[in-house]
Structure 1
């Protein structure tokens, strides 16, 4: 992946990891377009010098409109970073998770799939293009408190593998960024201020360092996410121990918010 002079569309780019990536790529001399639903976040992105577009990642019509508008306004568009996502606690035994599950699947899984389908005809015309999905360490070792989120990230990982294979004879690269637990507002103030989470600037710096040092890599895995990615490779017993111990620990640590559901 060429890291300069690219035209990059980032969904969910108004805050958190998306904004961090947007700022990093802009500093390297790329044109960055931030797409999102929150008008307040888009206004803040514009104040930082970013082009912005509005999209509702739960709506096929809105996603198609985003692709058409992005191509029309930015004909050199040759990179998309699928970062938009939502993460919600779901106590499945309560049986009232339909809305949360639907929104999560549409935003995290179907949204990127649809946006790719609308962008690929344009990307095929470019001299070179890049598609980047943002998954999670939880795609590999799920957190039981957020089952649909973890399932969508596992699904996007699988989809990314298939997409990469299908595009291997084209000029379109396909990459996956695998974040660990990062200090963002994905699940509110607790996560943003949790000392156990990786500071956002450290995560972004490590991602960019990996891309600079190994621009052909398929997976961008920072050190804190490596144990998740490799868990299944170390055998069934190791995987089960990691899954059970982490989930028991986090259920106890977040008992108050879990019991409130």
Structure 2
């Protein structure tokens, strides 16, 4: 993928991985717009020269309005990154967990589908373009304190595979980004093995720039998650990760 002449929308690009990806695309020479819910973060990005758009991926009307505004300003848009997501602890023994599950799936899975659906006609009309969906290593190797997060990201993976097959031959490509745990500056991260954000972004951009671009963007740090079943390490790793259930209030492991 040539990163120097693209027009990119990063939905969920106001912080963390999304914001860093927006900056990396811009540094490579692409025109970059960012969509998100945080008005203060959007204002700061606008000051840095990014196009900015308010969008809530859990609201179909908001997504449609954002699409119309983006395409009006950037008719040459050719790359859409679906970065919005929430990552919440969830105790399945507590009946109240269902609302956490609902929020997680509505944002991570349905939000991805809403954004893809909104921009598919535009990219099909162009006859070329790329969706970059974002799943997670946890979609392949569960992290027990976050069951719905893992389920939502596993679903994003499956949806990306089917989407790619349905769009085959149209000129619209589907690339799936599969992050491991990434340490974002200024954000508390309890995982001592989390990959520094800058290192992660450098690996990702190098993989995206490959010709051909891989269907799945797998940095070195996520390979143990992606291939755990194939490598016969799945059960052992899930047992290790189950120790983190102690993070849940009132739980002991």
TM bucket, shorter chain: over 0.9
CA distance in 2, matches of 1:103, 1:41: 22
Specify the alignment match of 1:189 in structure 2: 187
TM score, norm. by length of structure 2: 0.94
Within a 5 Å distance, the mapping from 1:15-164 to structure 2 comes to 15-164=15-164
Q: Is the Cα contact below 8 Å between 1:2 and 1:215 reproduced in 2? A: no
Q: Is the Cα contact below 8 Å between 1:109 and 1:152 reproduced in 2? A: yes
Pick one of 203, 208, 217 that aligns with 2:205.
Answer: 208
Q: Deviations over 1:7-42 (max 9, x none)?
A: 111011011000110000001111111000011111
Q: Deviations over 1:31-54 (max 9, x none)?
A: 111000011111121122111000
TM score, norm. by length of structure 1: 0.91
Q: Which moved more, 1:89-98 or 1:129-138?
A: 89-98
CA distance in 2, matches of 1:215, 1:24: 19
Q: Is the partner of 1:53 in helix, strand or coil?
A: strand
CA distance in 1, matches of 2:48, 2:120: 29
Q: Deviations over 1:220-257 (max 9, x none)?
A: 1000000111111124xx31112112222x33xxx3x4
Pick one of 213, 231, 234 that aligns with 2:228.
Answer: 231
Q: Is the partner of 2:125 in helix, strand or coil?
A: coil
CA distance in 1, matches of 2:101, 2:44: 29
Shift of 1:152: 0.5
Specify the alignment match of 2:236 in structure 1: 241
Q: Is the Cα contact below 8 Å between 1:14 and 1:44 reproduced in 2? A: no
Specify the alignment match of 2:249 in structure 1: 259
Structure 2 unaligned blocks of 5 or more: none
CA distance in 2, matches of 1:136, 1:213: 21
1:199 and 2:189 matched: no
CA distance in 1, matches of 2:38, 2:8: 19
1:220 and 2:180 matched: no
Runs (4 or more) in structure 1 with deviation over 4 Å come to none
CA distance in 1, matches of 2:28, 2:195: 23
CA distance in 1, matches of 2:209, 2:75: 26
Q: Deviations over 1:169-202 (max 9, x none)?
A: 11111001111100137xx8321x7542110000
Q: Is the Cα contact below 8 Å between 2:17 and 2:197 reproduced in 1? A: yes
Q: Is the partner of 1:58 in helix, strand or coil?
A: coil
Q: Is the Cα contact below 8 Å between 1:10 and 1:34 reproduced in 2? A: yes
CA distance in 1, matches of 2:75, 2:149: 33
Specify the alignment match of 2:179 in structure 1: 179
Q: Is the partner of 1:125 in helix, strand or coil?
A: helix
Q: How many residues align?
A: 251
CA distance in 2, matches of 1:204, 1:71: 27
